[in-house]
Structure 1
Amino acid sequence: MILYDLVIIGGGPIGLNCALEAEKAGLSYLILEKGTIVNSLYNYPLYMTFFSTADKLEIANIPFISTAPKPGRREALEYYQGITRQRDININLYEAVLKIEKEENFLVQTNKNKYIAKKVVIATGFYDIPNLMNVKGETLPKVKHYYSEPYPYAKQKIAVIGSSNSAVDAALETYRKGADVTMIIRHAEISKSVKYWVKPDIENRINEGSISAHFHADLLEITPDSIIFKDEKEDIHEIENDYVLAMTGYLPNFEFLKNSGINLQGDCLKPQYDENTMETNVPGLYLAGVVCGGKDTHLWFIENSRIHAEIIVKHILHSS
């Protein structure tokens, strides 16, 4: 069995960046990815546009050429998967990591094999586990926690839960394909984090009545034919409904982190790690990317976590 200097769990942009930094440093490595290359990006809405410009999404100083001011999902897939092909990155796809055990080295067990590594990086992101609403009827087939494109919802009564970028994109796109859209929003307004070129669009559609929006509203129950919610006056409302798009966010796999020996801190369940090295409380086990933020999934993204790969590899070299 090969003893790798580094096993990287997660083949997203940050995992790929860790691999390129390891290669540059002469470290043997392997990426284990449970889906395809940049699997989370693959599962993004088909017509999604990034908030960041192309240069902010680059890894390893490899130019990201985009014809638009801000690239979309397809361009990002071409960029990251292209790098994986051109650099012949050592990555095993459709291989899910089940367990990490620390002895003298790390034993990494997947659904297909076992691997031994001196060091391990967890760069698994947060897109796999929906942040559930915990309301009656949430498991009905009409409830979707992932949104890809608007066409299935033409001429349907759609309830979009949330007010962040994903919720706003889903509301606008389904509305423009003929859906009757109602937004259920717990807060007083559309999120301030919504992309600046999209925010006026959704606010104008709400103001003119093209899209219904209920602010200070809480969803109480989902039935096969309706949704039930209460408003800020505690009045209960029931409206007809065909589909619920629950754009309530996603969470890291906290159970996997905990089972790997990582301490989770506070209500946010932030994993314990040294910000100067990215090493967790388990010696030799590192975190990179969005997973570092716990429930605060807006803390880290590609643009500001690209540096994690360099920090980790530098620490591995100095501690060897």
Structure 2
Amino acid sequence: MKTTNLDIIIIGAGPIGIACALECKKRNWNYLVIEKGALTNSLFNYPLNMTFFSTSEKLEIDNIPFISNNPKPTRNEALEYYRRVVTSNQLNIKLYEEVSTIKKANDDFKIETSKNQYKAKKVIIATGFYDIPNLLNVPGEDLPKVFHYYKEAHPFTLQNIAIVGASNSSVDAALEIYRKGGNVTMIVRGESIGERVKYWVRPDILNRIEEGSIKAYFNSEITKIEEHQIIIKTPEGNKKLPNDYVIALTGYQPNFKFLDQAGIKFSEDKKHIPNYNPDTMESNVEGLYLAGVICGGMETHKWFIENSRIHAKLIAEDIASKS
């Protein structure tokens, strides 16, 4: 297999990976973005009717205007925006090609993918954290009725649905399925709905719970999933609930194994934050940079598009200063 030589390889074609590509293009560097799925794959897999917490200007990259119908854009508007940024700037991106290994040899990196081999002087990893769900680790979680991602409400009409979690994604799913005729029960490990839930949505879910339209068990967790019921542990003891589907929206985590194999070190606490210089975004592996939400390790709420888009400029400036 022929090896392609490049200045920079960017892994991940999400908003931050695209921002990094724009910085490379400005400097006429020979770069390539490699993405294992669709363009902005994580955004593509968001619920169909999702609305962002942020306003459109905070989601802009490289000062390219993002015009939306309302101050807070929808998933479809974001997909259109980032797609147009890529196509109008003719960014060099390969989709549906998964990186399997990154190995440093002398001053270069050797990258193997599902389709090709590459050699690059620098590597930027901007893969996000949406690929690996945090599992419940209970019997029955492998049943086909259990989902760790939510797309739309229609399939759950007239069904008994258990939603695990109390974050934005859980609340959005609960309200949407309820309004499409599903019988929704929320299983929440904490004592209340999450404080980070969108401020215009939180009163809605609290009111639906208070009036009994949506049942909620707080300080509770699923202990077993069966074909037609679930068993939950509550402060009042174990309960059996009729159930057709479980939607466990308990969060996601970066591919730590992939980062570890690339030589990146992590903090030794539960946060598992990768080692990098916040001024340059360079990791403990010289020439290997991290960008975007992946920098937060298990603290997946720490970095978003709006506060990590600056990473692209920091990386480009550091690479330019060393060239």
Indicate the TM-score class for this superposition, using the shorter chain for normalisation: over 0.9
Tell me how many residue pairs correspond in the alignment: 319
The answer as to 2:172 corresponding to 1:169 is yes
Matching residue of 2:67: 65
The answer as to 2:96 corresponding to 1:94 is yes
Q: Which of 121, 126, 129 pairs up with 1:126?
A: 129
Give the whole-Å Cα distance in 2 for the aligned partners of 1:38 and 1:13. 7
Q: CA deviation at 1:117?
A: 0.6
Give the whole-Å Cα distance in 1 for the aligned partners of 2:290 and 2:182. 41
Identical-pair percentage: 57
Matching residue of 1:187: 190
Give the whole-Å Cα distance in 2 for the aligned partners of 1:296 and 1:157. 32
The answer as to 2:200 corresponding to 1:231 is no
Matching residue of 1:291: 294
Q: CA deviation at 1:26?
A: 2.2
Secondary structure, aligned partner of 1:15? helix
Q: CA deviation at 1:69?
A: 1.5
Give the whole-Å Cα distance in 1 for the aligned partners of 2:141 and 2:38. 28
Give the whole-Å Cα distance in 2 for the aligned partners of 1:22 and 1:289. 16
For 2:258, give the aligned amino acid.
F
For 2:193, give the aligned amino acid.
I
Secondary structure, aligned partner of 1:204? helix
Q: Let me know the Cα RMSD of the aligned residues.
A: 0.7
For 2:80, give the aligned amino acid.
E
For structure 1, which runs of at least 5 residues remain unmatched after alignment? none
Q: Deviations over 1:12-45 (max 9, x none)?
A: 0000000001111221110000011101100100
Q: Deviations over 1:53-76 (max 9, x none)?
A: 000000011000001120000000
Matching residue of 1:135: 138
For 1:43, give the aligned amino acid.
N
The answer as to 2:86 corresponding to 1:84 is yes
Normalising by structure 1, we get a TM-score of 0.99
Q: Deviations over 1:130-189 (max 9, x none)?
A: 110101100000000010000000000000000000000010000001000000000011
For structure 2, which runs of at least 5 residues remain unmatched after alignment? none
Normalising by structure 2, we get a TM-score of 0.98
For 1:72, give the aligned amino acid.
T
Matching residue of 1:250: 252
Give the whole-Å Cα distance in 2 for the aligned partners of 1:81 and 1:107. 29
Structure 1 runs (4+) deviating above 2 angstroms are none
Matching residue of 2:281: 278
Map 1:17-96; keep pairs closer than 5 Å: 17-96=19-98
The answer as to 2:214 corresponding to 1:205 is no
For 1:54, give the aligned amino acid.
S
Give the whole-Å Cα distance in 1 for the aligned partners of 2:103 and 2:225. 42
Give the whole-Å Cα distance in 1 for the aligned partners of 2:292 and 2:86. 18
Secondary structure, aligned partner of 1:264? coil
Q: CA deviation at 1:219?
A: 1.1
The answer as to 2:298 corresponding to 1:308 is no
Give the whole-Å Cα distance in 2 for the aligned partners of 1:127 and 1:2. 29
Secondary structure, aligned partner of 2:80? helix
Give the whole-Å Cα distance in 2 for the aligned partners of 1:26 and 1:85. 17
Q: Deviations over 1:83-109 (max 9, x none)?
A: 111111000000000000001200111
Give the whole-Å Cα distance in 1 for the aligned partners of 2:250 and 2:5. 41
For 2:169, give the aligned amino acid.
S
Give the whole-Å Cα distance in 1 for the aligned partners of 2:16 and 2:235. 41
User: Is contact 2:4-2:117 (8 Å) kept?
Assistant: no
Secondary structure, aligned partner of 2:123? strand
Q: Which of 117, 120, 135 pairs up with 1:117?
A: 120
Give the whole-Å Cα distance in 2 for the aligned partners of 1:2 and 1:102. 15
Give the whole-Å Cα distance in 2 for the aligned partners of 1:285 and 1:4. 14
Give the whole-Å Cα distance in 2 for the aligned partners of 1:79 and 1:230. 44
Secondary structure, aligned partner of 2:69? coil
The answer as to 2:111 corresponding to 1:108 is yes
Give the whole-Å Cα distance in 2 for the aligned partners of 1:2 and 1:36. 22
For 1:4, give the aligned amino acid.
L
For 1:186, give the aligned amino acid.
R
